[in-house]
Structure formats: C-alpha cells, structure tokens
Amino acid sequence: MNDDDVLFVDEDDEPEQGEIGYWKVLIVDDEPEVHAVTRLALNDFTLNGRALTFLSAYDGEEARRMFREHNDIAVVLLDVVMESDDAGLRVADYIRNDLENHFTRIILRTGQPGQAPEKDVIINYDINDYKSKTELTAQKLFTVIIAALRSYRDIIVIEEARAGLEKIIDASADLFSSRSLERLMQGLIQQLASILGGAKNAAYITSAVAVSKPIGTLGDLYIFAGNGEYSGKEGGRLRESLSEFEYDLCQQALQRKEVVFADEHLVAYCKSNVNRGSLLFLTGLPRPVNEMDIQLVQKFSENVQIAFDNLLNSREVSDTQNEIVQRLGQALDGRELDNNHVKRIVAMTETLALKAGMNESALQMLLLAAPLHNIGNSYVPRSILNKSETLSDEEFHQIQMHAEFGYQVFKDSKRPIIKMAAQLARHHHERWDGEGYPDGLKGEKISLESRLMAILDTFDALYNSRVYKPAWPLEKVQETMQEAAGKQFDPQLMQIFIENIDKFVEIQQQYPSQSN
C-alpha cells in the first residue's frame, strides 16, 4: 500500500475491518454542496493504511463544538466567510488560543479572497495553508490533504516522544520506589510507540512484578505498565486482560523469544536474567511493520529489560533494607507489642504524610526512619515498660528517658535517614502546647515528622490493647484525640487525620493485632 492510494469513508461510517485507524477531517462551510464535493474529491483516500472519516460543521459555533468534542481532528478545511465575514478566522483563533490545539492542520478556504487577504491572514493567524475555492481542483485538494496529514502525523509522533521522555525524566528523580518504576516503564513503552509511528495502545508485560508478586515468580504473566486501553489494567493477569488472539501472539513471542507481529499488533520478547522474560506489547499500529522497525524494537527491548532488571535488583535491596530496619525497630522497642505494630505505623505514616502534602524524597526518608522512633526503649528496664499497674514517679521518669536514649544512639550520624531517626526518637512525645518532653518544644518548632508520629503512635496505642489497658472502641479513640487537638496534637494535622480516619482503620484491619 502506498501514500497515493485513496479510500472514501462517509461521515457516519467506521473504517472497514482490517483498516488500521483513520484520519479525522472536519469540513466547515455554510454551503452543503461544498461538503459533498469535498468528499467526492477525496474518494478512496488512504495514508499509511488509514482512511479518512469526515465530520461536518456549517457555522463557526458548530465548528467550535466539534473541536471541544473531538481532540483528534487531523485536518480542518475551514471556510472564512460564513455567518460573518471573519467567522472562519475566529474559529482558527479559538483552536489555537482557547483550546491551545497546535496539532490540527488548519487549511483556510475562501470564495471571497478580498474579504480576507492571504498575506494578512498568514501573518496574523496560525494557519497552515490558504486556498481559494476556485483553485482547489480535485488534484490540488488531494495534494493539500496529503501534505497536511503527513505534517500532522509527524507532529503527533514527536508529541508522543516528548510525553514519553517527560515520564522518564519524572521517574528518574526517584528510580527505586514502586511508583516511579511504573512511571518509568510507562514512559519507555510510550517511547517505543513513538518509534513505530504512534501506536495507540502499549503495555509492558512481565512475570517478575505484579500486585503482591515476589521477584522471580515463574507464574502467569501480568501487565506491569500500560498506555491507551491498557492504562488502569496494571496488576491484571495477561490471560484476563487480552483477547484470545492477542494472548496467543504473546505466547508465541515468549516461546520463540523474538518479535512477532500480525495486522496492527506487535509483541517483542525481552530476555531477562532474573525471571522467565518479559514482553513489550503494542496494538493500533498506524502502519505495517517493516524490517527496520523490527531491528529498532529488538534493540529497544534489550535495553529496556536491562534497565528493568537493574531497577528490580535495586528495589529488592531497598526492600530488604526496609524490612531489616522494621524488624530491628520492633526487636529493640522493648514493649510487649504485637508483630504488626511497626507495619501499621509505617503504613499509617505514609498515608498521613501524603495527605499532609509531604514531598516524595522526604516521605521516603521518614518511612525508613519511622520504625526506629522508639529504639530508646531498649535502655529502659522491660519490667517497667511492660508493667500493667500504675507507674511510680521514678518509673515514669525512666520511661520518659527513652526519648533521650534513642537520640543518643543516632545523634552523631551524618546520614539524612539516621539524622531523621534521631529527631523522631527525641521529639515524638513533644506536645503542640509545649507541655511535652524532653525539650518542651511548642507548635511548629516541633518537626512535621515528629508531629505526625505523635498522632499515629497515640492512635495505635489507644485502638489496640496494651499490657496496661484493653483496646478502645473507635468512637472513644476519635473523641479523645479530637479533644487533644491544639493541646497535645497539631490541630491541622489532626483535622486531616480525622477526615481520613477510615483509611487508618483500614490499615489497622489490614495488619491486625497479633501476639508475639
């Protein structure tokens, strides 16, 4: 199929099965005959295997509505004089400046050139061509449309590449969190779609990572990241996310360990050193695949998998470190707490910190430091920490000293996370009203991290049983903590906490109290 083949599609027709998409052309003219003649002149038109489909508008307001409803109009053939002498020019200005649409190719057509001189229009309006209706023969209209569509096609490919690169740059700020790993892969598959001329839908498919799936599991394949119709299907099993035909193509690529393609589909195998291999899957290809495309995809898939494997290994190291810190914090706490206490604290910390607007880098440090906030308890006699009777003044003073003990453990480190742990250990019992310990800090002189921890540690203690008390019902916990807002707790943080109390209860239910 070549660029000069032509295929006609009526206004309400969809492309025939087997066509790879279509180009939308909007005709804006107050003369119905112009619409009919334009369709006739462009009979049997295709470009890159895509046919034309037409939209019609008969005045400026209807044209503006069409652009609000359709964000993928490739070309508009726009009459200048309709309900007013400058109606078409107003539409052009609306497209570029109000909608900020710089992709659609605008071709002005006029039967009255004197009403809108070509030189003035070209200078003052962001249009792509200007033609008198009398000079637009069928052949010239064909040529104009070919040039406009090629320009639109190339602009869209560049925009897809820009959007993909933007995702990769965003992800590179923090490559090792699960969220940024997904963003990185979405950016990479978008780049691949751009290489192939702008595929509509793309997915990265792997057995290595899915929701609650450990690295190296040799089970079913899962969608890890997706664009287009696969966006939102992350974590879904491949067999349940694709048609039978598409699933069979994926199996072929996996078994042959190569690139396979059919119609508008392409699947590339990615060799991995840590799992059974992954797949790059694209549909809605705008043109047939050629040998150069296959070579590009093969090279791209090799590099993508190397990057993905490296990131997985880094994340495994990071997850291992996090677990060690959590287990260490639990072991050195000294109190008779359930095995899920630290997990609840970390999960609740992430939720409240995000709701409070904490940035990603600060959040990651806090999540690593949070399990260590009570490490000073290791210096307090267990007989006092786990005493069920009322404490004497001396015993209570010894418990208060755990804040200073924890600070002393970490204070000399130059590492940001350890410095954060020192701060949390010392100040998580400070109060908003300045009546806390050990330093009597007041209000925002207490770090945000310590103010967060004060709320969450108290909630966990009240909502669960301790050696000195049974678990309290939620209503009593909520009432008690609300009364302490502005006294013990930061009132704004407490408001955020109460507004999202259901999320914290969900975390408590996810990690229920367990005996050691």
Q: Which residue has the higher pLDDT, 480 or 312?
A: 480
Q: Is the pLDDT of residue 293 over 80?
A: no
Share of the chain above pLDDT 70, in %: 81
- How does pLDDT run across 53-78, given as a tens digit for each residue? 999 999 999 999 999 999 999 999 99
Report the C-alpha gap between 267 and 84 in whole angstroms. Answer: 53
Task: Give the per-residue pLDDT at 336.
Answer: 58
Structure tokens at 411: 């204070």
- How does pLDDT run across 129-138, given as a tens digit for each residue? 988 888 878 8
Task: Give the per-residue pLDDT at 181.
Answer: 65
Are 107 and 128 contacting, i.e. CB atoms less than 8 angstroms apart?
yes
- How does pLDDT run across 302-325, given as a tens digit for each residue? 777 777 777 666 667 667 677 777
User: In what order do the strands lie in the sheet containing 22-28?
Assistant: 46-47, 50-57, 22-28, 73-79, 105-110, 129-132
Are 198 and 157 contacting, i.e. CB atoms less than 8 angstroms apart?
yes
Res. 27 pLDDT band, cuts 50 70 90: very high
Task: Give the per-residue pLDDT at 472.
Answer: 95
Task: Give the per-residue pLDDT at 39.
Answer: 92
24, amino acid identity: K
Q: Which residue has the higher pLDDT, 480 or 397?
A: 480
Q: Is the pLDDT of residue 491 over 70?
A: yes
Q: What ranges do the domains of the chain cover?
A: 22-136, 157-310, 334-510
User: The CATH number of 334-510 is which of 1.10.443.10, 1.10.3210.10, 3.30.830.10, 1.10.1070.20?
Assistant: 1.10.3210.10
Helix (H) or strand (E) holding 87: helix 87-93
259, amino acid identity: V
To which CATH superfamily is domain 22-136 assigned?
A: Response regulator (3.40.50.2300)
Q: Is the pLDDT of residue 365 over 50?
A: yes
Strand partners, 55: 26
CATH topology of domain 157-310: Beta-Lactamase (3.30.450)
Res. 298 pLDDT band, cuts 50 70 90: confident
Half-sphere exposure (Cβ direction) of 149: Cα atoms closer than 13 Å = 23
Lowest mean pLDDT among 78-82, 182-186, 279-283: 182-186
